[in-house]
Structures are given as C-alpha cells and as structure tokens.
Structure 1
Amino acid sequence: MEFTDVPQPAPQAHEALIKVEAFAPNRGETFLLERPGPGPLPGKDIAGLVVQAAADGSGPGVGTRVTGHPPQGGWAEYAAVPTHSLAVLPDAIDSTRAAALPLAGITALRLLRAAGSLTGRRVLLTGASGGVGHYVTELAAASGADLTVVTATPERGRRLADLGAAEVVHEVAAAQGPFDVVLESTGGPELPTALSKARPGGLLIWFGQASRTPVSLDFFDLLGGPAGVTIQHFHYAGAPYGPDLAALVRLVEQGRLHPEIGRVADWDQTADVLVDLRERRVRGKAVLTTGAAR
C-alpha cells in the first residue's frame, strides 16, 4: 500500500462529494489486494463532510456531516457517494464512530431481519468478535434473544457478554444446543458443526466464510443430524442503504448501540492496520483518520 495522487472524484447527478474525515477498512477488502492492479480504490465505510451536494437536489446540503456507504473509493480524501447511501450525523456522534457503522452495521441489521423475530429464541452466532459480530450481539440481545456466541479468546468473550450474550464459548463444538437459529460466518469445517447444533426444523443463515476454507457437507451426516433444517445464504447488498444507516445512527445517539472500535490510527498507518485486520488482531472495527476533521 502506498499514497498516490488521483483525480478528485466527479460525482454523478445523484451523488454528493464527501470530504472524508475517517474511513473503516473491512477484512474482506484486504483480500482484494491479493491481485493488485489498476482500477477503483477500495473503501465502503466513510464519515465526513458534504462539500458538493448532489446535482439532482437529493440528499444533504453542503456543510452537512454524514456517514456513507459508497460502492468504492472510500480510502481517500474525497469520495462520491449516492445520496441514497448517506445518513446525516448529529453533533453527538464523531466521525470515528460513524465510520465504523456502514458495512458491518447494515449487515447486522439485515441479517437479523432475515432471521425473523428472535424474542425468546435460542440463537448461536459464530465468528462473533468481528465488526459484524459485535453489532449482531448487541442488537440480538436487545431484541430478547437467548444468544450464545463463539469467539477465540476469553478477553473478547467478556466484551460480548457485556453486550448481552447469554453464553460465550471458544469453539463451535462447545455450544450447548439445540438452537432455533444459527448465524454462521466462519465456513470450513465449522459450518457442519454449527448445523448439527440446530433444532429440528431450525434455520441456519450462512453469511460469511472468514476461514476462507470451502465447506463440505456429507449427505449421510445430514441424515443423522437434526431433521428439516433450512440452510439460507445471506448477503447484505441491496440499495438503498441510507434508511438502515439512519437507523444505526439513531441507535448510537440513543445509547442503544455501541460501535466496538479496536484500533484508531492515522491513515498513514493503513498498510499496518490492513495486515492486523487480515490476521484477525483487531477486535471489532478499525478506523483510520485523514486529519480532515474539524
């Protein structure tokens, strides 16, 4: 990773130009760098100031503080963001916390919608100590779920317990099922193990493969497991993102959602932070600041 000068983005009619004060790289984005080449800059999580309003009249005006989820290009001083992917920030929320919201927060909201009502239901969440996992834990616990989380270390488990997890385990096999809903983000051999923890007729939502290891399911193992379990693939994508971002901002402002930020650094440390994200040495989110904040 290195700094370079590129032309300032030219927003389309439905986009606002944002002066980026902070951005939050995601672990999945680090994998894009395995095959570097010309093309758009990465970056989907930003917070900053509107310096050019959308030409079509939509969205916030110049001088408005916002958080945004651009399709690309957020690791920069300026980003063009569709106005349907922006949310206005109140004074009480700084750019660092706001930048930690978009991808992980939207994923958590939409994942829990896909799972349906969780009040009084037993839920298992794997890979719980990442950015998505912290949001899912707090939101699911607040909705009345009896939540068991899987995380690698006791230290990370204590924070998840503080956010409302009823039980913390350090490997999927140790989770005491059966569970009504399993939220699985690890892939590899963990998914079949997590599937075996579901109740008959339960639901497993597969929303990630953090292990980067393909999943193998054995038909006869399935026959011997819980009957009639549904396996559902999930991906968060689908604009508009603005309403969900606005909901996340409200929850943070009301003290009902707490972005878990494990690393804050100046953007000249981007390369080091990306390595730590990739190696899973950051709890929750990492946020990089550009020095542009007022």
Structure 2
Amino acid sequence: MKAMLPGSAADKPVILGEATEPEPAADELVVAVEAYSVNRGETFQLDGALDRRWPGWRPGKDVAGTVVRAAADGTGPAAGTRVVAHPPAYGWAERVAVPTSSVAELPDSVDAVTAAALPLAGITALRLLRAAGPLAGRRVLLTGASGGVGHYVTELAAASGAEVTVVSATRERGARLLELGATDLLTSVNEATGPYDVVLESVGGDSLPAALARLAPGGLLVWFGQASRTPVTLDFFDFFKGPGQGAIRHFDYTVSDATYGRDLAALVRLVAGGRLHPEIGTVLDWSRTADVITDLRARRIRGNAVLTVG
C-alpha cells in the first residue's frame, strides 16, 4: 500500500512510498483512511526535536475513514462502519491498524475531513479543561491560541462559562477565536492585565514567565506545550514574589482515566450537535503533506491542517 514515509531532508520531511499492509492485533481493527490531520508534535518527531520514534516508525495519529477489517476479538465497530481514530502512529497511509479503544463511530452528519481534525487537538483540549477544573465565572488566559488545540479550548471553555483571553501572533490569525467565544484577543502576553485564575501555556520561551506573572493568587498554570521551541527560564525569587501560592502543573495528554475512543465519541457528539466547530485552515490532497508540514513549522496555518487520501 502507499504511505507517507519519513524523508531525509528539511525540504522533504516525508515522501510518498510503499509500506507493508497493517497486521492488526486481536483488539485492533483496520481503517481505510479517507483523511488525516497533521499536528505540530508530528513535525517535531520528524525533525528529531521530540524523541518519540522507534524502528519502523511512520507518522500519523489522526485519521478518519471506514473500517475494512473488524477486530478479531469482537470488540469495536463492524466492517463498513465510518469512524474517527487516534492510532499511536502509521496513520498517514491508505490503511492503518487501530486499537478499538481508540475509535469512535461517525454519524452521517460528520464528514471525514471534519472528523480527521478532532483526535489529537480535540482530545488534548478536553483533557486540558479537565485539568483546569470548573471554569464557570473564572478568568482564563490561553497562549498560542490560534492552533488546533486553541480553537477547541476557546469554544469549550467559553461554553463552560469562562471569561477567555486568547493570545495569537496576529489579530488576523486570532479573529475566529472571538467568534468562538473569546472575550479578549491579544497579540502578546505582555498586553494581558490579569489576574487570571487559570493560565493555559503552550508557547514556552519568554511567554511562560510573563503569563505566570499574571496568575491570580492561588491560581493554576497548566504547561502543555513549547511551540516556540525555546526553553523556559524561571527565577525562583520572581515566582516567590507572586502570585501567592500559585501552582504550575505538568500536562501530558496521553495520561487520562478515559480512553481515546470515549473522548472521541464526546467530541463527535458535540460536533454533530452543533456545539463544537473544528477550525480547519487547510484541506489538500495528501501528496501535499510535505508542503503542509513546512507551513505548520512556519506557523502559517490557522487551526488544523487536513489531508485527503485517494
């Protein structure tokens, strides 16, 4: 079958080539992929900045399509069922094996392109908000907000009753966030006045300490990314001066009591009910995957980037 393979040059991060057919375990089904999403984390893996590769690794964690082979153990959807799935890898291909616990069925009202934008970004957003706790009436600051995760977080947090301030590199990139419920749009965290009960930080570098300084006493900063690729430097004495009893929480979206399938099903219900609106900045044929990766690295894509297969 055809699949996207890791490339060997900066201008060719992936190449379309041949791969072996998936050999599913007993609790895995096989999906014929119709669309997949490219995430920033996968670009980090491809260039070696994120050490989560293994021999034979191929990228691909967000897919939507049709089950062509049901799981041998009888779990999960039957062949012919339309699904969205979150495999550990290998999804940028014509077919992929996925654990049935990482799959959710799709209603006719949710197309494959929309569904493919849900898994990593949507699951991350759901779990971030769980980590943040109840949000009704609370002030939330979200940095790096114009990516896929940021759009989901903004809409879900605003719907929960939070007052959400978002930070985007430009007002143009962040305009959609206001439509999704953000109350304020800033182009620098230094413009934020605060104090904020919850800070969701994904940029790193100078952004995190600046956001931390705007945390309310007893507030929570959840650190869930470092899109700038710049390490963070924190001074203990600056932190000690305030906010009083503020907390910094590490976040790993893979750690949860819920399965990926359960969270995907929740996201699908929200989309089908008109309560969640994936922001898809680019839809192209999968032959353009390398171009999309270049654009993601340069932060030229707002929301999710989706590629269609076949």
- Measured against the shorter chain, the TM-score band is over 0.9
1:97 counterpart residue number: 114
1:261 counterpart residue number: 280
Structure 1 residue runs without a partner (length 5+): none
- Give, in angstroms, the shift of residue 38 of structure 1: 5.3
- Give, in angstroms, the shift of residue 156 of structure 1: 2.1
Distance 2:43 2:201 in 1: 21
Q: Deviations over 1:95-115 (max 9, x none)?
A: 000000000000000000010
- The amino acid that maps onto 2:243 is P
- Give, in angstroms, the shift of residue 158 of structure 1: 1.7
1:282 counterpart residue number: 301
3-state SS, counterpart of residue 59 of structure 2? coil
- Give, in angstroms, the shift of residue 2 of structure 1: 1.3
2:74 counterpart residue number: 57
Distance 1:37 1:216 in 2: 31
- Give, in angstroms, the shift of residue 226 of structure 1: 1.2
3-state SS, counterpart of residue 3 of structure 1? strand
> Residues 34, 232 of structure 1: CA spacing in aligned structure 2 closer, same or farther, 3 A cutoff?
same
Distance 1:174 1:2 in 2: 42
Q: Which of 137, 140, 155 in structure 2 is aligned with 1:138?
A: 155
Does the alignment pair 1:163 with 2:180?
yes
Does the alignment pair 1:188 with 2:200?
no
Q: Deviations over 1:198-219 (max 9, x none)?
A: 0111110101111111111101
1:84 counterpart residue number: 101
Q: Deviations over 1:150-205 (max 9, x none)?
A: 00111122210000001111100101200000011111111000000001111101
3-state SS, counterpart of residue 2 of structure 1? strand
Q: Given the two structures, how large is their TM-score scaled by the length of structure 2?
A: 0.92
3-state SS, counterpart of residue 135 of structure 1? helix
| Equivalence map 1:1-294=2 (5 Å) | 1-35=14-48, 39-238=56-255, 240-291=259-310
Q: Deviations over 1:77-108 (max 9, x none)?
A: 00000000000000011000000000000000
- Give, in angstroms, the shift of residue 224 of structure 1: 2.1
Percent identity of equivalent pairs: 66
Distance 1:281 1:37 in 2: 29
- Give, in angstroms, the shift of residue 220 of structure 1: 1.4
- Give, in angstroms, the shift of residue 37 of structure 1: 8.9
- Give, in angstroms, the shift of residue 139 of structure 1: 0.2
Distance 2:15 2:141 in 1: 40
Distance 1:279 1:203 in 2: 30
3-state SS, counterpart of residue 4 of structure 1? strand
- The amino acid that maps onto 2:237 is F
Distance 1:37 1:115 in 2: 32
- Give, in angstroms, the shift of residue 222 of structure 1: 1.1
Greater shift, 189-198 or 30-39, is seen at 30-39
Aligned residues: 291
Distance 1:213 1:2 in 2: 28
Which one has the bigger strand percentage? 2
Distance 1:89 1:34 in 2: 33
3-state SS, counterpart of residue 199 of structure 2? strand
Q: Runs ≥4 in structure 1, deviation > 4 angstroms?
A: 35-38
- The amino acid that maps onto 2:179 is D
Distance 2:97 2:46 in 1: 22
3-state SS, counterpart of residue 9 of structure 1? coil
